[in-house]
Amino acid sequence: MKKKLNFWFDFASTYSYPTAMKIGEMAYEEGVELTWNAFLLGPVFHNQGMNDTPCNLFPQKGAYTWRAIERICDNEALAFNKPTIFPQNGLMAARICCSYSNEPWLPAFVREIYHANFVKDQDISQKEVIIQSLENLGLKSGEVIEKATSQEGKDRLRQNTDKAIELGIFGAPTFIVKDELFWGNDRLDTAFEWCFKR
């Protein structure tokens, strides 16, 4: 039976960045079927009684996180520049992911947006940034954005976020393998191992 791993991510999430850049290749090498599930952390944090990301609410944790991300990226030879805006608004990008979740270009689009956020320090809420990311992949940006921002497109992201909360997701990245939940970039290897656990 095909091994499956569900990857849940938010475009503002610091630790989701290194995960997003490598998880596709890892899944390919392991022969694991990957699903890419974008959601919004904002409502998830709000549901836990927080009105902002823990990195901003708890400054010591925030300071640690920025240094930890820097070390992780350095270790993986991954470019990183601390974004001027944090957390960024990934609403439009997440809507695109939900409307095109099965398209072969989706993983590359996800990486484009993370690169725009955590390397180029662009404002990913801006339509021009989204258009550029889509056009870098040779896609018709107008068509994609129209579908993603339609009422159905908006509903898809809302449903995905509701589903994340139902599944017990409280942060990102999160991996789900056979009903087991794994939280954090640090648990990525463990999540892959779980795919092959008997």
Q: Assign 133 to helix, strand or coil.
A: helix
Nearer to a second copy, 146 or 186 (CB): 186
Encoded tokens for 110 = 């996800």
The continuous run of DSSP H or E covering 33 comes out as strand 32-38
Shortest distance, position 83 Cβ to a second copy, whole Å: 21
Nearer to a second copy, 63 or 79 (CB): 63
Shortest distance, position 66 Cβ to a second copy, whole Å: 12
Provide the edge-to-edge strand list for the sheet that holds 180-183. 32-38, 3-9, 174-177, 180-183
Nearer to a second copy, 43 or 103 (CB): 43
Nearer to a second copy, 138 or 179 (CB): 179
Cis peptide before 87 (omega within 30 of 0): yes
Shortest distance, position 192 Cβ to a second copy, whole Å: 14
Shortest distance, position 140 Cβ to a second copy, whole Å: 39
Residues that bind a second copy (CB under 8 A): 48-49, 57-58, 60-61, 63-64, 67-68, 71, 168-171, 180-184, 186-187, 190
User: Dihedrals φ, ψ of 179, to 5°?
Assistant: 65, 0
d(CA 95, CA 93): 5
Shortest distance, position 198 Cβ to a second copy, whole Å: 14
Nearer to a second copy, 72 or 93 (CB): 72
